[in-house]
Amino acid sequence: MSSLNPAPAAVAPHRWWTLTTVALAQLMVVLDATVVNIALPSAQADLGFSDGDRQWIVTAYSLAFGSLLLLGGRLSDLIGRKRAFIIGLIGFAAASALGGAADSFGTLVAARALQGAFGALLAPTALAVLTTTFTIPRERARAFGVFGAIAGAGGAIGLLLGGVLTQSFDWRWNLYINVVIAVVAVVGAALFVRTIPRTGPRPKLDLPGTLLVSAGLFALVYGFSNAETDGWDSPLSWGLLVASAVLLVAFVIWQRRAAHPLLPLSIVLDRNRGAAYSSVLIAGVGMFAIFLFVTYYLQTTLHYTPIQTGLSFLPMIGMLVVMAQLSTNIFVPRFGPKIMVPIGMSIAAIGMVLLTNLDVGSSYAANVLAPLMILGAAMGTIMPASIQTATLGVDREFAGVASAMVNTSQQVGGSIGTALLNTLAATAAADYVASHMPPTGEVLAEAAVHSYSTAYWWAAGFFAFGAVLSALLFRRRGQGLSLSQGAPAGAGETPASADENPEPVIAH
């Protein structure tokens, strides 16, 4: 873990402006996973690519993002977080501009892959900047409450923003908007994100470990993505998943003997951090079910427009933000993640079960609104506590890669949710139609709602499992680090820093 005599921390003078800058960067990365989805039909009509090719607009981003996250996190430790943060912002903006100006399918896919690559540098760096900036426990809780709220609500915000931009302007503005956000964030980073001096030799990059984990995560995300489109009987899907397992096992074995490990195993083997990473992964699976299937239901069953669909998620976002602040400022410091995260998981399971009651005659106000608000409250309870715990007490030298594990967990959870729940829903729809022949319009509509219900039941099961797992894994208060202790992120760190400029130490 960490040395027992950390250097004293100084308080960063512009930390709240730093939080604003980091929040903008995180919002840009998170919403980009959904904002483009609503633009796909318009982009397809404009550029003329096939339905079979359409998935690559989404898959190219997730493949690059998911497979390069740990490398991006480690690079932020090696080259300095301020430098990595600004490079990530500029690169993400440039890739977005390229995608917005794309005149062919190939250019758009390449731009999305570049977005994912720079997002893999930007996302963990943003969290690492937050981790090393806020050292006062109460302020740290507030900052992570904001960050956790954005991580949980970014997908819904993307749906709303995507609907507005596509319907009011042009699909290309779903990409151009990132340039506007990035310019503001770069100015904020230049002014407010401070650098920390390095002491001791510059750490080295674990090249074999980087290749093993990047290839393993690529195969994992690609395997689940392929299963979504080609089905679970696809040899390619299973071949990729088996290859992923072999590569990731080899990565773990290598990390045990590497002189400069990419991901020290002590980071993930700590019970609290392991519980936090698993909670983020399970929440990622569940969030997919909320956004995808509720969006389908609102648009295909209730015939909502894209803007109406996005607006329908606003109450959920509001509840998530409120609960995130209450959780991080009141409940988590008082009760700890061992109580709060299982409660959040249980509430999410209840919200999912309520969604299973939807049918073709349901209405938004009477049947959809309450479950969405319950799910927002659940995510506001789960995400801030989990994200804060995942980075608590990590040596500053490894804050970037520890932060990357948060994003990796969420990305893998989303990939599992995409493939597994979509497959289960498609199977349920097919079975329903087969047992209600002939396939009239009414039968097809009922089959769609039945398939969504199947996905909600499975998501409820995932959350119930997450409640049990987090209750068992998280330590009791007083056992190891807790969120209410006076140990901020980086408490007990070695003096070595990941930032290079000889300025005064601002935070651990």
pLDDT tens, per residue, the chain with 508 residues? 333 333 444 566 678 888 888 888 888 887 777 777 777 778 888 898 876 677 788 788 888 988 898 899 888 888 888 899 999 999 999 999 999 999 999 999 999 999 999 999 998 888 888 877 887 777 877 887 787 777 667 777 887 888 888 888 888 999 999 999 999 999 999 988 877 666 556 667 888 999 999 999 899 888 888 887 787 888 999 999 999 999 999 999 999 998 888 888 888 888 999 999 999 999 988 887 777 788 889 988 999 887 888 888 889 988 988 998 898 888 888 888 999 999 999 999 999 999 999 999 999 999 999 999 999 999 999 988 898 888 887 777 788 888 888 888 888 888 788 778 888 888 899 899 999 888 888 899 999 999 999 999 999 999 999 999 999 999 876 554 444 443 333 333 333 333 333 332 222 2
- Write the DSSP symbol of residue 398: G
Query: How many CB atoms are closer than 10 A to CB 258?
Result: 17
Euclidean distance between CA atoms 459 and 59, whole angstroms: 22
Query: How many CB atoms are closer than 10 A to CB 299?
Result: 17
The amino acid at residue 462 is F
Half-sphere exposure of 92 (CA within 13 A, CB side): 33
CA dihedral 7, 8, 14, 17 (to 10 degrees): 70
Scan for tokens 């983020």, then name that residue.
280
Q: What is the CA radius of gyration of the chain?
A: 22
- The answer to whether 275 touches 483, Cβ cutoff 8 Å, is no
The amino acid at residue 289 is A
Euclidean distance between CA atoms 496 and 508, whole angstroms: 10
Scan for tokens 């903008």, then name that residue.
24
List, in order, residues 6 or more apart from 160 with CB less than 8 Å away: 307, 310, 311, 313, 314
- Write the DSSP symbol of residue 12: -
- The answer to whether 416 touches 225, Cβ cutoff 8 Å, is no
- The answer to whether 232 touches 420, Cβ cutoff 8 Å, is no
pTM exceeds 0.75 for this model: yes
